[in-house]
Amino acid sequence: MRQNKMQSFNDGVVRLYEVGNIGPRGGMRVEGLKIKATLRYKERTVGLNRFLANKQNNVNIQYLLRCPRLRNISTQDIAIPNDGKQFRITQIQYPEETNPPVMDITLEEVVSVYAIG
């Protein structure tokens, strides 16, 4: 049996949000961000294969972050790492053989930013 690789998360903190209504109850709907989780991360290198595959699909990948694994994160969510910019999660992968269990989230910068509720 292979031994699990120990993973550290020393590069920063990312806040993960879901997009939803942040308007007042009974008022007009206002699309904005609601916090889901705050996680530490390790920045990873965007590999050539991933970069080229995303370019073919007109996706401009800026970050690949490795975080502790959460199952309630989706490609509909928004991430805000240390630089304060908003990024759409375009892909989530769950690599095996790491300790603790992790997820790799691939991020593309958002063109129209959301208000944070």
| Residue (of 100, 92, 35) closest to 65 by Cα position | 92
pLDDT tens readout for residues 77-102: 999 999 999 999 999 999 988 889 99
Q: Where are the domains of the chain?
A: 5-116
**pLDDT (0 to 100) of residue 1:** 45
Please give the CATH topology (third level) of the domain spanning 5-116.
Answer: Thrombin, subunit H (2.40.10)
Which amino acid is it at 82? N
What global pTM score does this model have? 0.82
The residue ranges of the chain whose pLDDT is under 50 are: 1
Write down the pLDDT at residue 48: 59
Distance in angstroms (rounded) separating the CA atoms of residues 27 and 18: 20
**pLDDT of res. 16:** 98
